[in-house]
Structure 1
Amino acid sequence: MTEPDDAAASRTAGAAREEGLDARLVVDRDAFRLDVALAAAPGEVLALLGPNGAGKTTALRALAGLVPLTAGHLRLDGAALDGTPPESRPVGVVFQDYLLFPHLTALDNVAFGPRCRGAGKARARAAAGRWLERMGLADQADAKPRRLSGGQAQRVALARALAIRPRLLLLDEPLSALDARTRLEVRAGLRRHLADFEAVAVLVTHDPLDAMVLADRLVVVEDGRVVQEGSPSAIARRPRTDYIAQLVGLNLYRGRAEGHTVRLGTGAVITTTEDLSGPVFVAFPPGAVTLHRDRPTGSSARNLWRCEVNGLEPHGDQVRADLRGELPLTADLTAVAAAELDLHPGAPVWATVKATQTHAYPD
């Protein structure tokens, strides 16, 4: 079920019906069914997030006209695009592998779009030159793709998509082919270019950082359905599925609240500061968990569970412990703390969390 996290989301959807994107994409492919509603206003960047196989790429291909709709509708600036061939849509696409023409220079790659839309060669090349200059690639105009770095190729692909002045820009994992260092630099540049884009942009990614940095609003898709949508901060604050919780790095549980006590289906109990009643979610970060080899005495933490270390892995400059027991959870601690506690798979531990570090909210 769709769970909008911002009141603004519904207002945006209404405004987008006349200007911007208004779509319900229904696609049946073998046993899989995609059924998602998307709306975005001009100037808005919408990110589709979800696990592999959720339907993100199918949705993007349906927007581009590469996959036909089984049902639903697709309107852009009030005009119906259902059945319109891909080459006739005011849509620019940046593919995951960029798909630059290897035999063309950067300039001619960018000029390709305007040429296909009827512009003369001189006019198309002049427009392409302006786009390359805008992307900081004027000195690479005569270079062919094999001579470009990953970041340069990504900017040429973006320039090619923007050169046709699309009313809808689609970006399919645009940073996934880059190494970590280049990704950081190109992400910052892409954010600037998207901020200047006056139409709708839809970004498909599995990387939460890309989505959080680049998008105004997130739409999370699982099993072909929208499970949550809202601003990045709202979704990070109140995740509604295990996938989203893992995405934003939180322990997440569903239970029933009676005042400050939340009882889970497993029988485990979590104490919170919120006073609620009925079905709720409870979340807390791995960094809020403190581990002990012996049952702590005199601790101020209201939550205490007996667990066993299931696994350990590096997580940035810390160690992330995967725990099983009364309450399955993850905990972050320093390498020094992990060594002092002699943590290893199978080691028994006690986990504590202060009630003030939990966050409960209605289901």
Structure 2
Amino acid sequence: MTLRARIVVERPAFRLDLDLTVGRGEVVTLLGPNGAGKTTALRALAGLTPLTEGSIELDGVRIDREPAERRPVGVVFQDYLLFPHLSALDNVAFGPRCRGRSKAEARLLARELLDRMGLAEFASVRPRRLSGGQAQRVALARALAVEPRLLLLDEPLAALDAHTRLEIRSELRRRLSGFDGATVLVTHDPLDAMVLADRLVVIENGAVVQEGTPTEIARRPRTDYVARLVGLNLYRGEGDGDRVRVGDLAFAAEEHVTGPAFVAFAPRAVALYRARPDGSPRNLWEGRIDGVERHGDNVRVHVEGPVPVAADVTPAAVAELDLTPGRPIWVSVKAAETHAYPA
């Protein structure tokens, strides 16, 4: 592993306790709600926040006792923090100059990095004349100019508009794939996390609640936050073979589980009926409409009952079923679209 860290930071009413490893060339994303401790962890790695306990090793060498300016770490902040009075070239050359390179050496390295980023023609341009995507690439070049072994990215796409974000997200992934050190990225955006990360570390209330590849996290969420993030209904119950009991309901699922278990299914897998449907659906209960909201091209309906559930239906279905708050409704989910796994 390039990075091995035990990060403990204590503050009044908050404690971050995180074990983190990142391999050479690997991108690990710290994901979690506001206040979870993501940025605190990043600042601790950068040397901007002191550890209460723990250690940080990079390539087998402890760096947590080193001041921030002496750590082999590059940082891209959320708003990039480019020097407004310097050109793109001099912004990138600033780090190497601070590390002892001559002006000529630093500017030569900066030109090479800007060329790699497709920004050679913007070398003399100041930040205010750069687009959001161009500024982000200059900030990334500046971080790489100090030849870091650890690259830290703090919400690197947050300052971009939606159209630019789509383009720069895929471009950033390509740039990161060419970096052979360790990369730690902080975001609260699930799409950024899924596209950019090789591995996700989900933090809630200062502690890791789930870790794995984007596919593993999306398939088997383990907290309500993660379930909402990947767009699933999630319940915790007790498995007894082919069913999982959640309160008064017994969910039939594709998998057989015994003992503490999770049940998950997508809102699109939920069917709603004004009257009890014919036949014998294996997962069926009665609830009441709690709220209705637009969700992409569909409408998300929130239903209260034995378990709260979100259902995605078409606008036509909303009108046909008269899905207004307070109306009784029958809820059905096919067993083939319901998944169970150990808790």
What TM-score bracket applies, with the shorter chain setting the length? over 0.9
1:214 and 2:214 are equivalent in the alignment: no
Measured on the aligned residues, the alpha-carbon RMSD in Å equals 0.9
Secondary structure at the residue paired with 2:322? coil
Please give the alpha-carbon distance, in whole angstroms, between the structure 1 residues aligned to 2:67 and 2:324.
58
Shift of residue 22 of structure 1? 0.3
Provide the rounded CA distance (Å) in 1 between the counterparts of 2:156 and 2:44: 18
| Cα shift at 1:273 | 2.6
| Helix, strand or coil at the partner of 1:178 | coil
CA positional deviation for 1:202: 0.2
Match for residue 110 of structure 1 among 72, 88, 92: 92
1:43 aligned residue: 25
What is the CA deviation profile of residues 18-60 of structure 1, one whole-angstrom value per residue up to 9, with x for unaligned ones? xx00000000111210000000111000000001100000000
1:360 aligns with 2:333: no
Match of 1:279 in 2: 260
Distance 2:169 2:64 in 1: 32
Cα distance, 1:171 vs structure 2: 0.2
Structure 1 Cα separation of the partners of residues 249 and 69 of structure 2: 56
Residue type of the partner of 1:88? R
Aligned equivalent of 2:103: 121
Q: CA deviation at 1:258?
A: 1.1
Structure 2 letter corresponding to 1:283: A
Distance, in Å, in 2 between the alignment partners of 1:212 and 1:160 is 25
Partner of 1:343: 323
Structure 1 consecutive aligned stretches of length 4 or more whose deviation exceeds 4 Å = none
Q: Which residue of 1 aligns with 2:206?
A: 224
Equivalent pairs, count: 343
Q: Quick check: 1:289 aligned with 2:270? A: yes
* Contact 1:68 1:83 (C-alpha < 8 Å) held by counterparts: no
Q: Deviations over 1:59-105 (max 9, x none)?
A: 00000000000001110000001221000000000000100001001
Partner residue, 1:145: 127
- Matching residue of 1:261: 243
1:137 shift after superposition: 1.1
Q: 1:153-164 counterparts in 2 under 5 A?
A: 153-164=135-146
Alpha-carbon displacement from aligned partner over 1:207-244 (angstroms, at most 9, x marks no partner) = 11101100100000000000110111011111100000
Q: Which segments of 5 or more consecutive residues in structure 2 lack a partner in the other structure?
A: none
| Structure 1 gaps, min length 5 | 1-15
Deviation at 1:341, TM superposition (A): 1.2
Question: Once the 2 structures are TM-superposed, how far is the Cα of residue 268 of structure 1 from its aligned partner?
Answer: 2.3
Report the counterpart of residue 162 of structure 2 in structure 1.
Answer: 180
- The TM-score normalised by the length of structure 1 is 0.93
What is the one-letter code of the residue matched to 2:163? R
